[in-house]
Amino acid sequence: MSDPVLTVSDLRKRYGQTLAVDGVSFTVGRNEIVGLLGPNGAGKTTTINMILGVLAPSAGRILIDGMDVARRRREALSRTNFAAVYAPLPGNLTIYQNLRIFGLIYGVADLKRRIQVLLDQFQLRTLRNVKCGVLSSGEQTRVELAKAMLNRPNLLLLDEPTASLDPNIARETRALIRDFASREAGGVLWTSHNMYEVEEVCDRVMFLSHGRILLEGNPRSLPREHGRNSLEELFISLAREPLAAGAAEHV
Amino acid sequence: MSSAKRIAAILLRQYYLMRGSTSRVVPLFAWVAVDIVLWGFITRYLNSVSHSGFNFVPALLGAVLLWDFLARVMQGVTMAFFEDVWSRNFLNIFASPLSIHEYLTGLVASSVATSTVGLVVMVSIATLAFGLSFFAYGLMFVPFLLVLFLSGIALGIFGCALVLRLGPAAEWFVWPIPALVSPFAGVFYPLSTLPGWMRAISYVLPPSYVFEGMRALVAHEPFSFGWLAVGGGLALLYVALAGWTFMRVYRRAVRTGLIARYSAETVS
């Protein structure tokens, strides 16, 4: 089996007395889509921010393609990309301009052709000269996904990527991400609150609560293994536990 | 090569923004042009009422031009940075392979482009409309500009660090920086005019050496190149200090999570 594209070891983030992330360890393999699930405030975005190098961990280690983000930030991040609802692309630039700028930053070869391919894939060709600020939220999400795939990343981080898409575009987007994971050498770490989507897309899921991973497994078999009818039911039962510690044992 | 591309990306971003926005292009030259016209007439008036034979054009109008150049350089850096603040682009920028060194170099490159526009307009008006001759400064015009350019870069990077540390609302601390520095830099008067405590501050400001030198040249008094070199050395030191300050503020922002949640109006 090839080395994982992402290895997170004993990751912690402390803000004063609060432990936002408490000893999280996991891997994402090549061609694998891993769902990072949990209620609001569970530590998902904090974990993603640490992987992206914009938040320094209090302890632990993050390796992307074997490269330590803390020591070889540039090499690690040039193999990574992300899309998140809270990180829109500048609204005062057109789709093409944004993709060109980030293509240069990520050192994308044959950039013009790559942009054309992505504009076609995400059905953005007719909007290429439209400023991102006037796009609908669904169109903006598609632009962010196009930017996230510009450099054919080995690690793709997606924080609720389909949150503002209509069901049809959301399905097509999921297909594109699945296609990306199966054809390119990349792995995907995906956060979502849509459990049906997670069940459909992810090869493996991890439940995060109070900064800890409580459960991990196949999203299609995990609910049955814990006596629940669906992933959503399992999610709710875990999220309602007042204290995360030991929650998995109670489920 | 990749590093040059990443720096070019920051420059290209500014170009795209300028190309599509009159409100960004006009301020590059409009206010400095107004300043030169205003001071051009003031110096013309002073020449007509003064019987000392002293030519105010190279002394005062030249000083305004050089000072406005410094301010344009500083604003060139901060404006490029503010574009990322206003468009909440920090996460996209800082979660990429772009290094802080490359990012700051991109801001400086943007400033070179935008301040050159202002300089060309100012020199054109001052020369054509008010007869300012740069022969009065001779070849020293180039090192004068260089020292002021470095000073503007240092102030600009320091201003960016201030806004990164204190939050978007702190941009109001940045705009008046040139006005705060100018009384100490002796833009319009010799440093000997200042009280001792103000003069002590003047000696650590690189522009002071430029304006003292400029006045000496215009008055055909002895001019020390070594004196200007001190100003140049100080300017280089301040550029390094400003870069170091920005890096420290950035590292703190990464430690505290500020970068990730910078879109908040105030983060201090």
Please give chain A's pLDDT, 251 residues, in tens: 578 999 999 999 999 888 999 999 999 999 999 999 998 889 999 999 999 999 999 999 999 999 999 999 999 999 999 999 888 999 999 999 999 999 999 999 999 999 999 999 998 999 999 999 999 888 998 999 999 999 999 999 999 888 877 888 888 888 888 888 887 778 999 998 888 889 989 999 999 999 999 999 999 999 999 889 888 888 888 887 655 444 444 44
Check residue A245 and give its pLDDT.
46
Task: Yes or no: say if A84 and A189 are a contact pair by the CB < 8 Å rule.
Answer: no
Residue A246 touches partner B, C-beta closer than 8 Å: no
Choose among A56, A78, A92: nearest Cβ to B254.
A56
Residue B83 near chain A (CB below 8 Å)? yes
State both tokens at B241. 């200090």
Q: Do B254 and A53 touch (CB under 8 A)?
A: yes
Contact B97 A106 (CB under 8 A): yes
- Cα A16 to Cα A226, B40, B160, B256: the distances in Å are 35, 58, 27, 10
| ipTM above 0.95 for this complex | no
A100 touches chain B (CB under 8 A): yes
CATH number given to A6-79+154-250 = 3.40.50.300
Q: Has residue B266 got a pLDDT over 50?
A: no
Among B92, B105, B250, the residue to mutate for chain A (most A Cβ within 10 A): B92
Interface test with A, best of B79, B96, B102, B103 (most A CBs within 10 A): B96
Residue among B5, B259, B263 minimizing CB distance to A104: B5
Tell if the CB–CB gap between A107 and B5 is shorter than 8 Å.
Answer: yes
Q: Which residue of A has its CA nearest to B86?
A: A90
Q: B148-161 pLDDT, tens per residue?
A: 999 999 999 999 99
Decide if A1 contacts A7 (C-beta within 8 A).
Answer: no
Q: Does B19 touch chain A (CB under 8 A)?
A: no
Q: What is the pLDDT of residues B50-90, one digit of tens each?
A: 877 778 888 899 999 999 999 999 999 999 999 999 999 99
For residues B207 and B70, the answer to whether their CB atoms sit within 8 Å is yes
Contact yes or no for A106 and B8 at CB 8 A:
no
For B211-262, the pLDDT digits (tens) are 999 999 888 888 888 989 999 999 999 999 999 999 999 999 999 988 887 7
| Distance between CA atoms of residues B82 and B69, nearest Å | 20
Q: Across the interface, which of B9, B251, B257 has its CB nearest the CB of A105?
A: B9
B2: closest chain A residue by CA: A107
Q: Work out the average pLDDT over B191-200.
A: 96
pLDDT at B32: 94
Chain A residues close to B106, C-beta within 8 Å: none
Domain boundaries, chain A: 6-79+154-250, 89-152
Surface of A (141-180) touching B: CB under 8 A = 147
Q: How far apart are CA B263 and CA B155, in angstroms?
A: 24
Q: Which residues of A touch B93 (CB under 8 A)?
A: 105
pLDDT greater than 50 at residue B267: no
Interface check B97 vs A, CB under 8 A: yes
pLDDT at A80: 96
Question: Do A55 and B6 make contact, defined as CB atoms within 8 angstroms?
Answer: no
**Percent of chain B residues past pLDDT 70, beyond the cut:** 97
Kindly list the residues from chain A whose CB atom is less than 8 angstroms away from the CB atom of residue B164. none
Give the DSSP H/E element, type plus range, for residue A25.
Answer: strand A18-28
- How far is A33 from A31, CA to CA, in rounded Å? 7
pLDDT of A61 reads 97
Edge-to-edge order in the sheet of strand A80-84: A80-84, A155-159, A187-191, A33-37, A204-209, A212-217
Question: For the purposes of burial, counting CB atoms within 10 Å of the CB of A228, is it exposed (0-12), middle (13-18) or buried (19 or more)?
Answer: middle
Please give, rounded to a whole number of angstroms, the shortest distance from the CA of B123 to a CA of chain A: 32
